Amino acid sequence: MPPMIPSRQPGPLLARPSRILVPLSLGLALLAAGCTIDPVKDARRALEGVPAAPLAEARAKREAGDYARAAELYLDLAEAQPAPAKQQLELNAADALLRAGETTEASRVLTGIDRGRLSQSQREMALLLEADVALQRGRAAEAIGKLDRVSKNVLPPDLKVHYYGTLAAAYRLNKQPIRAAESLDDLDRLLKDDPAARMDNQVSLLFTLATLGRSGLEQAARDTRGRMRGWVELAEVFSGHGAPGPQIDAELRKWRAGNGGHPAMNGLSRAYFTTLAGGYAADTEVLVLLPRGGRFGVAGDAVRDGIEAAYTADASGNRPALDYRASGGGRYDAGVDAGADLVVGPLMKDEVGALAGRSSLPVPTLALNRAGSGSTDNLYQFSLAPEDEAINAANYAWASGLRSAAMLYPQGPWGDRMADAFRTQWRSLGGRFAGQKAYRTGDATYDGDVAGLLAGGSADAVFLVASGADVERLWTSLQVADARLPVVATSHVYDGDFNPTRDTALSGLYFVDIPWLLDLERSDALSRKALRDKLPNASGPLARLYAMGIDAYRLAPRINEMGSNPGTFFPGETGGLNVDALGQVRRQLTLARFTGSGPEVRQRIEAPPKSGKDNDGDAGTEAGP
Residues 495 and 598 in one domain: yes
- Tell me, what's the pLDDT at 29? 33
Residues 421 and 515 in one domain: yes
Assign residue 102 the CATH number of its domain: 1.25.40
Assign residue 487 the CATH number of its domain: 3.40.50.2300
Q: Which of 261, 277, 293 is the last residue of a domain?
A: 277
Residues 487 and 593 in one domain: yes
Reported as a single tens digit per residue, the pLDDT across 587-599 is 999 999 999 999 9
Determine, yes or no, domain membership for 77. yes
Q: Which ranges of the chain have pLDDT less than 70? A: 1-36, 240, 533, 535-539, 610-625
Residues 312 and 368 in one domain: yes
Rounded to whole angstroms, the Cα distance separating 20 from 567 reads: 13
Residues 579 and 489 in one domain: no
405 in Cβ contact with 461 (< 8 Å): yes
Determine, yes or no, domain membership for 249. yes
DSSP letter (8 states) at residue 609: P
Determine, yes or no, domain membership for 124. yes
Residue 235's Cβ-count burial label (10 Å; 0-12, 13-18, 19+) is: buried
- Tell me, what's the pLDDT at 130? 97
- Tell me, what's the pLDDT at 32? 35
Nearest-5° Cα angle at 616, 613 to 618: 115
Domain containing 15: what range?
8-30+32-155
- Tell me, what's the pLDDT at 564? 85
Determine, yes or no, domain membership for 261. yes
Sequence-ordered list of residues with C-beta below 8 angstroms from that of 298, at least 6 positions apart, any chain? 542
- Tell me, what's the pLDDT at 490? 97
Determine, yes or no, domain membership for 101. yes
Residues 257 and 235 in one domain: yes
Sequence-ordered list of residues with C-beta below 8 angstroms from that of 66, at least 6 positions apart, any chain? 359
242 in Cβ contact with 525 (< 8 Å): yes
Residue 323's Cβ-count burial label (10 Å; 0-12, 13-18, 19+) is: middle
Residues 504 and 413 in one domain: yes
Q: Which of 277, 305, 336 is the last residue of a domain?
A: 277
Determine, yes or no, domain membership for 623. no
Nearest-5° Cα angle at 320, 314 to 326: 110
- Tell me, what's the pLDDT at 536? 66
Determine, yes or no, domain membership for 433. yes
314 in Cβ contact with 274 (< 8 Å): no
55 in Cβ contact with 93 (< 8 Å): no
Rounded to whole angstroms, the Cα distance separating 172 from 163 reads: 14
> What long-range pairs does 14-17 form, CB within 8 A, spacing at least 24?
14/378, 14/560, 16/564, 17/63
Determine, yes or no, domain membership for 619. no
Residues 13 and 128 in one domain: yes
Domain count, the chain: 4
Residues 139 and 16 in one domain: yes
3-state secondary structure of 488: strand
Residues 551 and 468 in one domain: no
- Tell me, what's the pLDDT at 3? 35
- Find the length of the chain: 625
Residues 130 and 21 in one domain: yes
Which secondary structure element, helix H or strand E, spans residue 361, and what is its range? strand 360-367
Phi, psi values for residue 362, rounded to 5°: -75, -25
Residues 209 and 311 in one domain: no
Q: Which of 231, 255, 277 is the last residue of a domain?
A: 277
